[in-house]
Structure 1
Amino acid sequence: MLSYDELTSPERELWDAFPEGRRVDLRTGVPEDDRVVEGGQWGAGRTVRAAVIVALLLGMNTTQPGAVACLRLAGARITGPLDLAGAQIGQSLWFEDCWFEEPVNLFGASTRTLVITGSRVPGIDAGSARIEGNVDLRRSLLESGASSPFNHDITALSLTNARVTGGVVLNRAEVNAPGGWAVAAGGLVMEGGVFCRGGFLARGEVRLLGAQLPGGLFMQGAHLTEPGPRGVALALDNAVASTLDFSGGFTANGTVRLQGTRASGTLTFEGAVLNGPPDAQGPSLVAPLMQAVDFDFTLARPPSGTVDLQGAQVSHLHDGEHSWPEVVELDGFVYGSIKVDEAAGRREAARRRNSVPHRVAWIRRCPGYNPQPYEQLASWYRKAGHDDEARRVLLAKQRHRRRTLPWAARAWGHLLDVTVGYGYRPWLAGVWLLALTLLGALSFSTDAPKPVQRGEGAPFQPLVYTLDLLIPIGGLGQRTAWYWPNASLQWLAYLLIAFGWVLTTAVIAGVTRALQKS
């Protein structure tokens, strides 16, 4: 147990200030001498033992009536382990521009607001902690605590299964755990938001698996790099948030995982850079079963790896010229509308990006053949009132499907395509019928046929005779009444009969297919 006589001068100053919540500032005011990165060289006049801080927070110095106790310390070199695991702390902790010799252990602790700003800390473990207030780590340098007895030697900041009633602020912070976990916050439950803006840098994986973030996650301009062996820079699988903001130059040199993630509002990557894993072999974005209302994927440049949106559901999809890589997984992706980036002076380019050829080419980036992306795109065109575009998409689907069929089915498919466009272009049958009618009428007018029975039947009419050959059902009385001594014209008659059956069969099959899919 510590006694007051054993305390050094700065420790006594802190001891006396604690009950009244006064701040103890050990900084010199000289920028060169107050650089936190060199805090390990600060002398005894700026050194406070962690044991003294622990003693104060555990009730060694009673609170004065009429004052709110609070530990406020600035510009100190804190030596020894700050071990408060499981502690019930009734005061807020404020550290500013401090240098910690060993990690901070708050595992399972219950405390109020925790502020460590502008400081250097070799790891913070607040796993399973209950924090009534904010966790403010702005401008701090957090490094993996290799010598820590309470956390992984590859974790710099742990908030696993923690509960925070306020927000977590990491603006302009640097969190270093190269190849490991920079931030481990799986199961984090919050009432506020997580803010990693203003140049936040994480070396190592940021993990927020299953986190509940009703205040949102804001990582505008954040930079994530040096992921672990899995190549994952950010893991948000099954997280629930109001807003997920990865805009304003957000850069991930590793995979961003959003599997099963739900955003009740906006999920935006506007102006982001998704480089994928450093080896360029893994995906840039993995978001199967993701849900969001507004999904803005207008990136600064195309992702280096694949984008997986299988089974994802969004109400509004925003994309642009740099949104999609060479390979996109879209099977099961459902969207209510598509809006393209229409920057000033680029409206014509935006219109082209929303054209059927561009959208079909987008779907063709999916490996193999999947009918759902075509059906989804056609559904969107129909809802927008563009029925012609919807039919063109469905025709492209049939042409893509044809490539996967046996040769006989492919041949029949080609016939359906040429004659009626798989039922989505029935006017093609009229074109064929008109062309064959003109061919027959002109050809049969060059010679005179012989009657099957003299004196019977209607007079020969080349046009009516041709139509009688092309119409396989019923009859106009011409085909059975005349025959051709000219073998060439007789063979032409046989061919027109065959074409009539083929056209009729193709029209019925194509229209039936179109009606079934409409």
Structure 2
Amino acid sequence: MLSYDELSPPERELWDAFPEGRCVDLRTGAPADERVDEGGQWGPGRTVRAAVLAALLQGAHTAQPGSVTCLRLAGARVTGHLNLAGAQIGHALRIEDCWFEEGVDLSEASTRSIAIVGSRVPGLEAGLARIEGRLDLRRSRLESSAPSPFHRRVTAFSLINAHVSGAVVLNGAEITAPGEWAVSAGGLVAEGGVYCEDGFVAHGEVRLMGARLPGGLHMRNALLARPGRTGVALRLDNAEGSTLDFSGGFTANRTVRLRGARVTDGLTFAGAVLNGPSGGHGPSVEAALMQAVDFDFTLARPPSGLVDLRGAQVSYLHDSDRSWPEVVELDGFVYGAVKAAGTGGAGERREAGERRESVARRVAWIRRSPGYNPQPYEQLASWYRSAGHDDEARRVLLAKQRHRRRTLPPAARVWGHLLDATVGYGYRPWLAGVWLLALTLLGTLSFGAATPRPVKPGEGAPFRPLVYTLDLLIPIGGLGQRAAWYWTDGGLQWLAYLLIALGWVLTTAVVAGVTRTLQKN
């Protein structure tokens, strides 16, 4: 137990100020003396032992009646290990511009709000901690410490399974654990959200698997540099949050993993830079099975690695020409509506032209997915139909059939080309009408250049080439020409057989097209 006589002058000042919640500021005011990085050189007049801080926070000095106790210290060199593991702390802690010789251990502690602002700390362990209030680490520098009993990896900042009733604030902070875990916060519950904005930098992997963030995760203008050995910059597998904000210049130099994450409001990468693994090997974003209401993927430039959205579900998708890399995994990706940045227009003609361009862009987007998967085409066509654009939906389904054709055996590919050229796989029935007109002209000219023989001389109507051709092409009913005349010329007789066969195929396509038009919603 510490005695008052053992305390140094700055420690006595802190001891006396604690019951009244007064701040002890040891800063000199000279800019040359206030560089926290050089705090290890500060002398005895600015040195406070960590044991003194721990003793005060655990009740070594009682409060005066009517006062609110709070440990407030600024500009100090804190020596020794600040060990508060398992402590029950009923006082707020506010540290500003201090230099810590060793790390801070809050594992399994129960405490009120903690603020360590603008300070240098060689590691902060707060696994299983319960914090009634905020955890504020703005502008601080946290560096990796030795592995804790809770995990084997070196971690600069640990919040594993911690519960924070307020917000975790890391704005402007720099957390360094190159090749390891900069932040390890699996299972964290932060009711007020996690804020890593205003120049936040992490050297090492940021891990928030299974975190519950009702207040969201905010990483505007954050930099995730030099991640861990796994090649993952940010890991949010199975996390839940109201908002995930990676906008405003957010930069990740390796993979951002959102596998199974659930976002009740918005997930945005507006203006973000996703560099992905070096050499383009591996994903820039891995968001398989992710769920979100609003998904804004309007990046500053295309990602360098692939984007994996397999099985993801979003209500609204926003993208642009800079959103997608060369490879996009889209199998099972479901969206309710999609909006490309910069689209929209005035007038029906301009709108129709934009829709045609949209189909071409969307089909090219789907073609970036490796292999052939029908679901992305069906999903896109379903969206166009729900928007009342049946023509665009048919274009998408036609593109699906053309893509599928590449996977078929040679004979099936030949048949597919024939169906495509004649009736557009049934999605362009007007082609059948064009073919019928062309075949009618061919038959009329060919049959008009020769004279057939009557089946029964002297009976029936005179030969009419146009009527005879139509009688061959129209499979239903009859015009009295086909049965009344035959050809001795073998070539013309085979032409007649061919027109009969094509008439069946093309007339069926026309009927199907008319039926589809009449049934349009």
TM-score range, shorter chain: over 0.9
Q: In 2, are the aligned partners of 1:85 and 1:105 still within 8 Å (CA)?
A: yes
Distance in structure 2 (CA, Å) of the matches to 1:381 and 1:450: 55
Q: In 2, are the aligned partners of 1:185 and 1:211 still within 8 Å (CA)?
A: yes
Which residue number in structure 1 is paired with residue 461 of structure 2? 458
Distance in structure 2 (CA, Å) of the matches to 1:151 and 1:464: 88
Which residue number in structure 1 is paired with residue 261 of structure 2? 261
Q: In 2, are the aligned partners of 1:145 and 1:151 still within 8 Å (CA)?
A: no
Distance 1:293 1:39, change over 3 A: same
Distance in structure 2 (CA, Å) of the matches to 1:293 and 1:154: 36
Distance in structure 2 (CA, Å) of the matches to 1:148 and 1:120: 19
Q: Determine helix, strand or coil for the equivalent of 1:362.
A: helix
Distance in structure 1 (CA, Å) of the matches to 2:433 and 2:176: 70
Distance 1:298 1:309, change over 3 A: same
Q: Choose the corresponding residue for 2:483, options 461, 480, 484.
A: 480
Matches within 5 A, 1:108-127: 108-127=108-127
Which residue number in structure 2 is paired with residue 304 of structure 1? 304
Distance in structure 2 (CA, Å) of the matches to 1:119 and 1:353: 57
Which residue number in structure 2 is paired with residue 396 of structure 1? 399
Distance in structure 1 (CA, Å) of the matches to 2:173 and 2:423: 63
Matches within 5 A, 1:245-324: 245-324=245-324
Matches within 5 A, 1:200-211: 200-211=200-211
Question: CA offset at residue 513 of structure 1?
Answer: 11
Q: Determine helix, strand or coil for the equivalent of 2:280.
A: coil
Question: CA offset at residue 504 of structure 1?
Answer: 4.9
Which residue number in structure 2 is paired with residue 379 of structure 1? 382
Which residue number in structure 1 is paired with residue 99 of structure 2? 99
Q: In 2, are the aligned partners of 1:107 and 1:125 still within 8 Å (CA)?
A: yes
- Which is worse superposed, 133-142 or 4-13? 4-13
Q: In 2, are the aligned partners of 1:289 and 1:311 still within 8 Å (CA)?
A: yes
Structure 2: 5+ residue runs without aligned partners? none
The one-character-per-residue Cα deviations of 1:210-257 (angstroms, maximum 9, x if unpaired) are: 111111111110000111121100011111111111111000001001
Distance in structure 2 (CA, Å) of the matches to 1:444 and 1:91: 104
Distance in structure 2 (CA, Å) of the matches to 1:61 and 1:180: 40
Q: Report the residue type matching 2:491 in the other structure.
A: S
Distance 1:400 1:503, change over 3 A: same
- Which is worse superposed, 490-499 or 329-338? 490-499
Structure 1: 5+ residue runs without aligned partners? none
The one-character-per-residue Cα deviations of 1:304-362 (angstroms, maximum 9, x if unpaired) are: 000011111111111111100000011111111111212899x9999489521111001
Question: CA offset at residue 476 of structure 1?
Answer: 2.8
Q: In 1, are the aligned partners of 2:23 and 2:73 still within 8 Å (CA)?
A: yes
Q: In 2, are the aligned partners of 1:154 and 1:179 still within 8 Å (CA)?
A: no
Correspondence 1:158 to 2:158: yes
Distance 1:147 1:306, change over 3 A: closer
Which residue number in structure 1 is paired with residue 339 of structure 2? 339
Distance in structure 2 (CA, Å) of the matches to 1:51 and 1:113: 20
Q: Report the residue type matching 1:166 in the other structure.
A: G
Question: CA offset at residue 510 of structure 1?
Answer: 8.7
The one-character-per-residue Cα deviations of 1:164-222 (angstroms, maximum 9, x if unpaired) are: 01101111100001111111111111210211111000000111111111111111100
Q: In 1, are the aligned partners of 2:433 and 2:510 still within 8 Å (CA)?
A: no
Distance 1:249 1:353, change over 3 A: farther
Distance in structure 1 (CA, Å) of the matches to 2:473 and 2:354: 43
Correspondence 1:415 to 2:418: yes
Which residue number in structure 2 is paired with residue 58 of structure 1? 58
Q: Report the residue type matching 1:100 in the other structure.
A: F
Question: CA offset at residue 143 of structure 1?
Answer: 0.3
Q: In 2, are the aligned partners of 1:194 and 1:215 still within 8 Å (CA)?
A: yes
Distance in structure 1 (CA, Å) of the matches to 2:304 and 2:90: 49
Which residue number in structure 2 is paired with residue 23 of structure 1? 23
Distance in structure 1 (CA, Å) of the matches to 2:152 and 2:45: 33
Question: CA offset at residue 62 of structure 1?
Answer: 1.4
Q: Report the residue type matching 1:283 in the other structure.
A: P
Q: Determine helix, strand or coil for the equivalent of 2:310.
A: coil
Q: In 1, are the aligned partners of 2:153 and 2:181 still within 8 Å (CA)?
A: no
The one-character-per-residue Cα deviations of 1:32-53 (angstroms, maximum 9, x if unpaired) are: 1121101111111111111111
Q: Determine helix, strand or coil for the equivalent of 1:224.
A: strand
Distance in structure 1 (CA, Å) of the matches to 2:265 and 2:515: 42
Q: Determine helix, strand or coil for the equivalent of 2:392.
A: helix
Q: In 2, are the aligned partners of 1:258 and 1:288 still within 8 Å (CA)?
A: yes
Matches within 5 A, 1:4-43: 4-43=4-43
Question: CA offset at residue 279 of structure 1?
Answer: 4.6
Q: Determine helix, strand or coil for the equivalent of 1:183.
A: strand
Distance in structure 2 (CA, Å) of the matches to 1:408 and 1:279: 40
Q: Choose the corresponding residue for 1:432, options 432, 435, 452.
A: 435
Question: CA offset at residue 453 of structure 1?
Answer: 1.6
Question: CA offset at residue 511 of structure 1?
Answer: 9.1
Distance 1:504 1:150, change over 3 A: closer
Question: CA offset at residue 152 of structure 1?
Answer: 4.8
Q: Determine helix, strand or coil for the equivalent of 2:281.
A: coil
Which residue number in structure 1 is paired with residue 493 of structure 2? 490
Q: In 1, are the aligned partners of 2:433 and 2:506 still within 8 Å (CA)?
A: no
TM-score by length of 1: 0.95
User: How well do the aligned residues superpose, as a CA RMSD in angstroms?
Assistant: 2.5
Which residue number in structure 1 is paired with residue 451 of structure 2? 448
Distance in structure 2 (CA, Å) of the matches to 1:404 and 1:512: 30
Distance in structure 2 (CA, Å) of the matches to 1:517 and 1:157: 59
Distance in structure 2 (CA, Å) of the matches to 1:375 and 1:516: 19
Distance 1:426 1:234, change over 3 A: same
Q: Report the residue type matching 2:494 in the other structure.
A: W
Question: CA offset at residue 480 of structure 1?
Answer: 2.1
Equivalences, count: 517
Distance 1:514 1:395, change over 3 A: farther
Question: CA offset at residue 477 of structure 1?
Answer: 2.6
Distance in structure 2 (CA, Å) of the matches to 1:109 and 1:237: 26
Matches within 5 A, 1:226-237: 226-237=226-237
Q: In 1, are the aligned partners of 2:311 and 2:333 still within 8 Å (CA)?
A: yes
Distance in structure 2 (CA, Å) of the matches to 1:342 and 1:480: 62
Which residue number in structure 1 is paired with residue 472 of structure 2? 469
